[in-house]
A = this chain, B = another copy of it.
Amino acid sequence: MTVPPQDDLSVVALAGGVGGARLVDGLDRTLPPDALTVVVNTGDDFRHWGLHISPDLDTVMYTLAGLSPEDRGWGIDGDTFYALAEAKRRGVDDWFQLGDRDLITHLSRTGALSRGESLTRATAELCKTLGVERPVLPMSDAPRPTSIVTQGGEELVFQEWLVKARAAPPVREVRHQGTDHTTQAVLAALTTADLVVICPSNPYVSIDPILTLSGVSDALRNTTTVAVSPILDGKAVKGPLATMIAEIAGREPSAEAAAMHYEGLLDGYAVHPGDAFDAPFPLLETNILIQSKEDRVVFARELIEFARSLR
């Protein structure tokens, strides 16, 4: 059941990987056609096996296409790994897991980029072949790589830190390299949005890359913006966020600490039961653990109702 058309909000979701994709999936099942645009972090993009890999775009696309596995946050459900096994056998880099079916995504994208197409256009083509109808926009067509400066002073490309180094080296700083240009498509979506939803993705490495782009934070200040806490009961559902909050901000990881990171941008904030705090904006205190498809839809509806009450 979708929200009735008379209540038609134009929603833009800012998303990173798994947590973002799950909320986007809930919003997709809740909002009418043309009411949702997804802007996705591309700070994690990197080249591997000569291919342009966009981990967060893929997670969002696969989730919307119904292809994501239940038990892990990447790749295609039921995919095989024969190419990867061959790479391993030959001593080719095998630290990043690419499935055989998944490879078609990276090959298609890399081919399109090498023909001079933009990442925005390559993503639209991929969405079409995957049957994804919602607009999924990369945050930028230009490289904007996220890097991690460790407390030991080493600078690692994000995926190398996250996957190859298993997010073990303590973080001193997150850097955003490249240009700060977003795209016309992203700016158009943000400036016409009635509501921007900051998904429960890692603020430092999934959302900040989007927010640092020229014009994005200003657009958020000019519309209703709500975020969903990426921290539940002091812990991240997945990934290294809790440790990063301690290491970078010097704070105990909490829903409040994550909200403070978005200071000045938020008109509302959703937290898990028991995580409420004394906030300068309204809080929605409800189940934000949205692993199942059912929970995603229930929460997305609550979030939209909450956001509507703020306008």
Contacts and interface: CB of A to CB of B under 8 A. Distances in A.
Interface stretch (A98-106, A136-144, A197-205, A210-218): A98-106
Contact of A101 (B83, B91, B101): B83
A47 B18 CA distance: 34
A92 interface: yes
Contacts of A111: 49-50
Nearest to A52: B50
Given A100-B82, A101-B82, A50 B110 contact: yes
A129 B83 contact: no
A261 B108 CA distance: 42
A86 interface: yes
Interface string A174-207: 0000000000000000000000000000000000
Contacts of A91: 129
A114 interface: yes
A108 to B, nearest CB: 6
Contacts of A82: 79-80, 82, 100-101
A51 interface: yes
A107 interface: yes
A203 to B, nearest CB: 34
A113 to B, nearest CB: 9
Interface in A251-293: none
B104 A87 contact: yes
Contacts of A107: 49-51, 83, 92
A90 interface: yes
Nearest to A79: B82
A172 to B, nearest CB: 31
Given A80-B80, A91-B129, A129-B91, A86 B100 contact: yes
A90 B50 contact: no
A130 interface: yes
A90 to B, nearest CB: 4
Nearest to A81: B100
A83 B102 CA distance: 8
Contacts of A92: 104, 107-108, 129
B83 A100 contact: yes
Across the A-B interface, the 6 shortest Cβ-Cβ residue pairs:
A50-B111, A82-B100, A86-B101, A90-B129, A86-B104, A83-B100
Interface of A: 49-51, 79-80, 82-83, 85-87, 90-92, 100-101, 103-104, 107-108, 110-111, 114, 129-130
24 contacts: A49-B107, A49-B108, A49-B111, A50-B111, A51-B107, A79-B82, A80-B80, A80-B82, A82-B100, A83-B83, A83-B101, A83-B107, A85-B101, A86-B101, A86-B103, A86-B104, A87-B104, A90-B104, A90-B129, A90-B130, A92-B104, A92-B108, A92-B129, A100-B100
